[in-house]
Amino acid sequence: MSDPSAPRPLSFQAMILRLHQYWSEHGCAILQPYDMEMGAGTFHPATTLRALGPDAWNAAYVQPCRRPTDGRYGENPNRLQHYYQYQVILKPSPPNLQELYLGSLAAIGVDMRVHDIRFVEDDWESPTLGAWGLGWEVWCDGMEVTQFTYFQQMGGFDMKPVAGELTYGLERLAMYIQNVDNVYDLAFNDAGVSYGDVFLENERQMSTWNFEVADTDRLFDAFRKAAAECENCLAAKLPIAAYEQAIKASHTFNLLQARGVISVAERQAYIGRVRDLAKAACAAQMEKNGWAA
Amino acid sequence: MTDFLLELRSEEIPARMQAKAREDLARLFAGELAKAGLSASETVTYATPRRLALILRGLPDATQAVSEEVKGPKASAPPQALEGFLRKTGLTREQLVERDGVLFAVTERPGRATPEVLAEAIPVVIRAFPWPKSMRWGAASASTESLRWVRPLQGIVALFGEAVVPVEIAGIASGATTAGHRFHHPDAVTIRSAADYVETLRDAHVIVDQDERAAIIATGAAMVTAKAGLTLVRDEGLLAENAGLTEWPMPLLGRFDPDYLSVPPEVIQLTARVNQKYFVCRDADGKLANAFVCTANIDADDGGAKIVEGNRKVLAARLSDARFFYDTDLKVPLEEQAKKLDRIVFHEKLGTVADKVERVAKLAEWLTSEGVVPGCDPALARRAAELCKADLVTGMVGEFPELQGLMGGYYAAAQGEDPAVANAIRDHYRPVGQGDEVPTDPVTVAVSLADKLDSLQQFFAIGQAPTGSKDPFALRRSALGVIRLITENRVRYSVPADLLDFFADRLKVQQREAGVRHDLIDAVFALGGEDDLVRLLARVHALQAFVGTDDGANLLAGYKRAANILKKEGVTTDVTPAKAGVSGEGAGQEPREAPASAGATYDREPAEAALVAALDAAEPAAADAVAREDFAGAMAALATLRAPIDAFFEAVTVNDADPAKRAARLALLLRVRDAVHGVADFSRIEG
């Protein structure tokens, strides 16, 4: 990237704007992040709940993801406990989904004559959502930049029709496009703000809280309360509200994991509990809309 | 004769599924064509990430006309029979053919054009294709009945000679056009015929032959490494995988920061191979070099410089993570790590991993102090067992669970443990699979045995034995591991009674591979009381050798005859395990109390007397041999019974009118049976 005539690579925010522009032009509703803590963009109700049922649905959005156990106190150049995914969901999956996806890479400046783009088998499964799909992790020069999935089931229900899901790891893509080795060195914008300026202190404090400070009794309590509130919503036939509580339980479980207070055996039981909540919310959503399983 | 080409183009097919898919395609097609009486003179299959292809050479242009004949009633049969036959065949009496007084319905089926047969076969094969995992996609997937394929199916090329075989499946119509390389040749490619397929696609930057791609990678990778003064670590699995990930493979050599070589080579190799599908290299001294070979799927405009740079960064990030874990782990002694095991639940009913470790340590210590595993310092066995699970809480194993054991071994060596302890920690999970090496170092054998036996006993005790296909705690694998550890190291160990049936089943499965008959294993286990697998197998091996001889086969025949008579006469007294003397201690058995066998109240016939004499000699000889675990000797003793038994059946009537004679002779047969059962339960032997 030392060639002075080469165009300046996209900043982090410019890349997001470019993706928004691209998917907007391809008919997606451009949504905003969901205002809850979640482990992946798939948890956003615009994916999970909208994947259910027969209605066509095309949407794209950025979702902040919280992975407490991935925190490294800001010391690892590649790992973060908070990062961004760019999520696209297209239902039914269009026949040219791969081409559309490659078009989006070109739109953010990936030259496919000098880079090696590969679709490598990676079957996606979310035990906490009762969901699975087939697809690939997309590699760019050996780096996984996108998870590409054809959902087959969500909340335990067969997809009718199948949705295609694209999940871009935004920081990785940006590091790649900007040719930087440390995530904190990313240009966040073109006005001198770096990713580190925005997030380094956040990573330090949140890693400390996730790993060392978070009160585990209160977290266990929060988990129980979220589960109970989910049941309450289910009883009131409010699937979206129930689903929000399932998300809350899921994130609380992730925090407990980071605190190292969940044993291997208990882990399965907790995942099972969250899965039951999420599945019940999905089932309620199906029922409320009168969709056959 | 004409060639047929079929190409099923899809989105990227997982590399690991391609070889089986080629086989399935050939097999399913051969099956469909055989139904029409067609077969190809040569079948070739190809797979790339984006296509599965089949070429059938030398097909006739049409199938043979066939004349089918159905046999009907006799010409003289009553009218109802004839009417029935006419109704069934839809023919009239005049259309039937009479031959030798029998009526036949003859149907002439004309030959069919081969393309017509192919057009029918293609959808059948596609719909029946046994992908290990398949999916639905697109608008059609609103129905769960929509076509399933490994990934979305994009196109079908079907050419018989130069003519398109017209088919349509799930909205995809066959044609003569396909796609070239995704980036080098994005335009459509028209295939003229099967003969041009490979070369036409080569011009479109696609090497369709997977073997050719593998060869390109192997040669190319060897070349780039040699140029750098290194040698490639060959890895056939990785070669096939990379061939399955590329249509235009370009092996490229990259370097990583030599500082990372402080991380154990297994870790570097694992992360390079599993996570990145890179080959690794060795330097002139045979040490792992700071280099890797990645296989790109493109002949990049810049010669691959950016690709190598990108891959280097990815590997560096992975190695940086690995080194972080390694360095952090090294700072904590294993006994400190082991303390954290009390926070990990092994199983809700079986306590924590720390509890398990304590049980394993006790058992390992016992196995060595009792000499079950000889030549081993019990203190070392205990120490190794106490530390063997400590690496489960290390960062490295948290990241790469498959490195459990191995990392513990490294950390143990680094903190100055006895090499035997470090090795035992490293290898105590072994053998993990059929092909895996069995540990031989006594400390390792003790810990490995103790670990597996503990899992088996504990899970069985809480009623978690495997059932059917359910084996969530991999107990079958544990049992197999125990069997191999015991038999290959000749460990004399009494398998706990509650596990014996389970071990018997596992042993049969395992020994089948070695060509040992499962019925012979049954024949020995049926005696009961045998819990020493080494002795059991020695007996089984001797038995297998024996039943393969004339003596053995004939003795078996004589035994079965005796057993049948006893069964028919309702003499069901069974041998008791103690009498059978299998456990060694029972060898000096007391003579069985058989009705009126001692002093006969009548004059024995010569053959009868000869059998009694033979038994008098063979019984103690066999028992002695069994006691000495000389099973070939025991078989030899039994072999002496063969001729007398044959002669007895030749000359003597068991079912004599005189009840005394009958009873004595039945008792004699019972004695024969019991003598044989002293070695094995021959009734379990097949044939």
Going by C-alpha positions, the residue among B176, B177, B160, B161 that lies closest to residue B120 is: B160
Residue B452 lies in a domain: yes
Number of A to B CB contacts under 8 A, please give it.
132
Residue B536 lies in a domain: no
Residue B525 lies in a domain: no
**pLDDT, average across residues B300-310:** 94
Return d(Cα B174, Cα B7) in angstroms, integer: 9
Structural domain boundaries enclosing B597: 549-684
**pLDDT, average across residues B191-199:** 97
Whether the Cβ atoms of residue B556 and residue B605 lie closer than 8 Å to each other: no
Q: What is the 3-state secondary structure (H, E, C) of A6-49?
A: CCCCCCHHHHHHHHHHHHHHCCCEECCCCCCCCCCHHHCHHHHH
Residue B541 lies in a domain: no
Tokens 């001889």 correspond to: B549
Q: What is the pLDDT of residue B528?
A: 82
Return d(Cα B168, Cα B97) in angstroms, integer: 43
Q: Half-sphere exposure (CA, 13 Å, Cβ side) for A240?
A: 7
**pLDDT, average across residues B509-534:** 88
> Which residues, given as ranges, of chain A have pLDDT below 70?
1-6, 264-265
Exposure string (b/e) for B541-564, b if CB count within 10 Å is 16 or more? bbbbebbeeebbebbbebbebbbe
Return d(Cα B351, Cα B623) in angstroms, integer: 47
Q: Half-sphere exposure (CA, 13 Å, Cβ side) for B243?
A: 26
What band does B568 get if pLDDT is binned at 50, 70 and 90? confident
Q: Chain B partners of A140 at a C-beta cutoff of 8 Å? A: 310
**pLDDT, average across residues B565-581:** 60
Contact A142 B137 (CB under 8 A): no
Q: Chain B partners of A93 at a C-beta cutoff of 8 Å? A: 137-138, 141, 152
* Residue B410 reports pLDDT greater than 70: yes
What band does B657 get if pLDDT is binned at 50, 70 and 90? confident
For residue B613, what is the domain's CATH number?
Answer: 1.10.730
Q: How far is B327 from chain A (nearest CA, A)?
A: 14
Contact A118 B245 (CB under 8 A): yes
Return d(Cα B9, Cα B154) in angstroms, integer: 5
Mean pLDDT of chain B: 91
Contact B139 A161 (CB under 8 A): yes
Q: What is the pLDDT of residue B468?
A: 83
Which residues of chain A have a Cβ shorter than 8 Å from any chain B Cβ? 54, 76-79, 92-95, 97-98, 112-121, 123, 133-136, 140-143, 150, 152, 158-162, 164, 176, 181, 260, 263-266
Q: What is the pLDDT of residue B588?
A: 40
Return d(Cα B575, Cα A215) in angstroms, integer: 68
Same domain assignment for residues B383 and B270: no
Higher pLDDT, B628 or B591: B628
Return d(Cα B26, Cα B58) in angstroms, integer: 15
* Residue B115 reports pLDDT greater than 50: yes
Same domain assignment for residues B98 and B142: no
Eight-state DSSP code of residue B654: S
Q: What is the pLDDT of residue A1?
A: 45
Return d(Cα B674, Cα A28) in angstroms, integer: 83
* Residue B29 reports pLDDT greater than 90: yes
CA–CA distances in Å: residue B75 to residues B83, B92, B95, B441 = 12, 14, 13, 83
Give the H/E segment covering residue A64: strand A57-66
Same domain assignment for residues B478 and B430: yes
Q: What is the pLDDT of residue B648?
A: 93
- Residue B464, helix vs strand vs coil: coil
Nearest to A159 among B141, B150, B297 (CB): B141
Q: How far is A146 from chain B (nearest CA, A)?
A: 15
Interface test with B, best of A93, A162, A211, A216 (most B CBs within 10 A): A162
Eight-state DSSP code of residue B64: P
**pLDDT, average across residues B153-164:** 98
* Residue B576 reports pLDDT greater than 50: no
This model of the complex carries an ipTM of: 0.94
Phi and psi (nearest 5°) for B26? -65, -45
Record the tokens describing residue B634, joined without a space: 């025991």
Please identify, among B169, B197, B225, the residue that sits at the C-terminal boundary of a domain: B197
Residue B335 lies in a domain: no
Residue B502 lies in a domain: yes
Q: What is the dihedral of CA B206, B211, B216, B221, to 10 degrees?
A: 130
Q: What is the pLDDT of residue A264?
A: 65
Exposed, middle or buried by CB within 10 Å (0-12, 13-18, 19+), for B621?
middle
**Strand partners for B2:** B59
Q: Chain A partners of B294 at a C-beta cutoff of 8 Å? A: 142
* Residue B154 reports pLDDT greater than 90: yes
Same domain assignment for residues B70 and B164: no
**pLDDT, average across residues B510-518:** 87
Residue B474 lies in a domain: yes
Angle at B16 between CA B15 and CA B18, to 5 degrees: 70
Same domain assignment for residues B299 and B353: no
Nearest to B141 among A119, A134, A162 (CB): A162
For residue B142, what is the domain's CATH number?
Answer: 3.30.70
Contact B142 A161 (CB under 8 A): yes
Return d(Cα B116, Cα B107) in angstroms, integer: 21
Contact A161 B348 (CB under 8 A): no
Is the pTM higher than 0.80? Answer: no
Same domain assignment for residues B178 and B224: no
Q: What is the pLDDT of residue B573?
A: 59
Going by C-alpha positions, the residue among B249, B311, B243 that lies closest to residue A140 is: B311
Same domain assignment for residues B189 and B292: no
Q: How many domains does chain B have?
A: 5
For residue B417, what is the domain's CATH number?
Answer: 1.10.3210
Nearest to A265 among B150, B298, B345 (CB): B345
Same domain assignment for residues B510 and B588: no
Same domain assignment for residues B472 and B358: yes
Nearest to A116 among B12, B296, B343 (CB): B296
Whether the Cβ atoms of residue B291 and residue B280 lie closer than 8 Å to each other: yes
Q: Chain A partners of B458 at a C-beta cutoff of 8 Å? A: none
Nearest to A266 among B154, B315, B345 (CB): B345
Q: How far is B308 from chain A (nearest CA, A)?
A: 7
Same domain assignment for residues B653 and B671: yes
Please identify, among B330, B365, B387, the residue that sits at the C-terminal boundary of a domain: B330
Give the H/E segment covering residue A91: strand A82-91
Return d(Cα A191, Cα A273) in angstroms, integer: 46
**Strand partners for A228:** none
Return d(Cα B58, Cα B154) in angstroms, integer: 28
What band does B324 get if pLDDT is binned at 50, 70 and 90? confident
Residue B527 lies in a domain: no
Same domain assignment for residues B609 and B492: no
Same domain assignment for residues B41 and B134: yes
Total Cβ atoms within 10 A of residue B518: 17
